[in-house]
Chains A and B, each alone.
Chain A
Amino acid sequence: MEGQAYMGIVRTPFAHARIRGIDLSKARASPDFIAALTGEDLVKQGVTTVPQNQWPPQKPAKRYHLAVGKVRFTGEPVAAILVRRKNSLEDLVELVEVDYDPLPVVTTIEESKKGKTLIYEDWSDNLSQRNDVKWGSAEKVIASAPYVIRAKEGIARQGSTPMEPHSTLVQYKKKEDVYEVYATVQSVHGLRGQLASQLHLPEERFHVKVMDMGGGFGSKGAQSYPEPLLACLFSRMTGLPVKWTATRTEEFLEAASGRDEYCGITLACDMGGKIVAVKAEVECDVGVTGTQNHMSQLSLWSMLGPYRIPNVDLRLAVYATNKMPLGPVRGAGAPEGCYFIERAMNIMAQKMGIDPLELRKRNLSAERRPGDTDRKPSGEEDHVRLINDLISQPRYEELLKWRKDVNSRFKRRGPSHSNIVAGLGVSIGGRSGFGGDEDEEEHPESDESPGGGDSREGSSQEKAEQWQQDGSQSEKGGESKGEKENDEASSWGESENEGSGVELDFESEYGRVTLDRNGKVTVYTGSSPHGQGIETTFAQLASEELKVPLDRVSVVWGDSVLVPAGVGTFGSRSAVTGGSAVVDASRKLRAQLFARVSELTGTKAEALSISDGRLVNTSRPSAELPTIAEILERLGLAEMSAESTYKVSSMSYSSGVHLCALTLDAELGTVKILRYVVVEDCGTMINKKIVEGQLHGGVVHAVGGALFEKLAYDEQGNLLTGTLVDYGIPTALDSPDVEVFHEVTPSTGTLNGTKGVGESGTIVGYAAVMNALNDALSLVRPGARVDVAPATPDSILAAINQPH
């Protein structure tokens, strides 16, 4: 904006330290300096602490957007300054002197468990959450099962790493007392709610907008970051537009990253290969904790896959460390869970000496069970169908033969020996198409587990109560919406300064459809596309329903004033919830229009239809009806509209089966993926190219996560992988071509038959790649395994050279 000022953040170089003092004098002396804020300023002004959503229940972690008292992760913001010129921004940031008293640093779960150094001093230890899922008698059954495998699995800390770093631009408008906020967010309504809550103001004071955004993958969806809040404060203080753009380094230091889960799993099968028990200890490193911490909870549910398992004992412990907050990253816990079970299945298949796809089939029902609908999470029969689909593809036979050929050369000794080993790996899984909230009550196993009669112990409800008894002060989300008016310039209202997460209803989405006198349709959606092609697909939906040509439909999103309500785009939910809302609103609009036309023309509403934008009387096609424009004019309306806050009645699950073919260089430990095949069913495909694009990107994201990506810290808590060359997101040369085959079983739970597909490629991909790698490894040295991702050449060679 014209006359904008630039905000810079002073970040701690220490991972854990007390703040002794902040000296702004040198920065203030510069002619380019405008203003500064520290944590103390935030406290004085009653700004809330960093919000934490309360599902699942977790210990309140009191931390401000600018550190107060101490810093807890390298890169944590300590102060913010506002300067006149872009070029001098970093010069002035460097002039701010902060006096730190370093504290011991905790960067591993092991250290965190010891509890010698507390991340939050009002906690008695570093445990953030615990959750158990248990039924049947897993321990007993395992002890007597004929086939038992054990594995130590894990996925390191990995980032969303969108190509566009976070950014914000805020203009406080004094006359209207409104903040015009541009931000890189996956939900404008989410940010609006957060700002309102943090500053104790009504939501209407914030006009939040997002324009074209360079990717999100979760990191721009859920975490409450300091910068939009600080920009609001600065703009209010100075009247200037305030611009901030993260450098890539800052993006790496601050953006919520994901995974960092480790699982010691025991899987037991009977003689026929049916799973009889799963026992697992899952540990998650949540960093300093953040706004959304439900990922490992989701992993627990995902790690039972589509299988029906009679004896289950899963224990989750989530630990705080001196790392940036953990947040949702494409799949948000589901890739981890799917990886844990699907890797174990392949280990079991190898132990039993049977084909891995055969083992899956033995554990899935080919026929829908009585009482099931497609809304049951199992989707077993879907997976069986997809597995059979894969096996029937010529590509499948071709790859089996290819593997045999390559490996025969590897097995040869002498000059014709080749160092290249081929591996094939499979995995199956699915994704629910909204929000990410997996309601415990809806989980089928609790209702229908055959055999085991014990009810679940240690439910998260009980744990929630336990936290409350610990004297936690956290408020229920969404209630402190800040109805207090802002009386003085420097006061933000009385402080209820515990930040609580904004409650968005993940099961619903807002949609409004209008028709104007020119016959043009405008769709307003709470969904927030950043690459998912919603402008195309939602236009298709409205065009379909209203029979108006596609080029006469436009889609509006990303503006909290033009679109008054909404949830956002994450969790594979847009087509499912947002799309259903568009269909619902379109149908309502149609009904409304036909009712009015019927009144005006006497034609029965049931006989009315639209064709190519024109009204038609289906019982008397030759009868001339007025145009839509004429109808609107007669009604004195510029436009007609209908809206919908559509709530999906239950979850709908997409399913997929993946096959990864790769080669391993046995001398160097490097991997090259040659072919990747996806056989999937995500219900109705509004736009096939867009669906496939989502799957391609999702799979390659998993490839990066399985082979290259790790956010690594040293013992002092310094981030070692803070650039795009140190942190290995795949280049075009690392990525395979991805072939996709589709089945279409429309969902009955949505109005457009979609099931959600944005995260599917990533969820099922990790296991396919790791299973293929291990398939190759087993040929190099039987027993050699790498079960922790990323499977680096270092770890691969170590596995080859050392006994497991």
Chain B
Amino acid sequence: MSAVAGQHRARRLGTGFTGTVRALAAALRRRALDVFGVAAIAYLLLPVVVVIAFSFNDPAGRFNYRWTGFTFDNWARPFGVPGLADSMLTSLEIAAIAAVAGCLLGTPLAMALARHRFRGRAATEGLVLLPMATPEVVLGASLLALFLNLGMPTGFGTIALAHTMFVTSFVVITIRARLVDLDRNLEAAAADLGAGPIATFRLVTFPLILPSIVAAALLAFLLSVDDFVITNFNSGTTVTFPLYVWGSARVGVPPQVNVIGSMLLLASLLVAALLMIRRRRV
């Protein structure tokens, strides 16, 4: 603490006995907050630890509910359970489609909203924000109502469409936030140097927002892999990873599901950590 701040503190708390009491109280408050913070973090990580721990469980019967023994077997054969691999593959395929499509649709829209004024801009913003303000049950139900009334069979295609729809909103707000923060002078300088709008975008804007696009794509990918409710309503006979977990929860979730979940978690953590490091370096 600087000397000035120290003087402030002394003046605030007073000196002598009352000052010491007040200083102690302040220190206790700080400790209490520290303790609370640590406890809250522990609470947040508890289920995560449970998921990872039970991937090492050696269950007696079909049910991975109680801890019975430690084994590496599940990690050795993570795809030993039939159907799990297929469902994970389907999830990854759909997520890739949703991430790419979401970025292709969302990036131009973000640019339009961040850079231009046009008629209907407020309404467009509303349209983008509304899906995020709607419970998944209603989103899934309305999409199902659409497909039922149009006679479209539900399956891989409808899941991909549904996922693209709801990730687009997230992509738009992520990229728009970055665009708003961007220094307009850079683009102005490019224009001054004779670059047309397309060249400016290609050489100046795009490289600068690329990290955001990547982050948005990864967010979209994660949201898609994780989605259960909307998929449940529109999946037909296609099985994605969350649907597989839901189904197996009725009969007994095999530890291999925990293994796959842990792998997904570790991969996401790695990517998030890398993004954070990269951002600090730039």
Binding between chains A and B: no
**B residues apposed to A, CB below 8 Å:** none
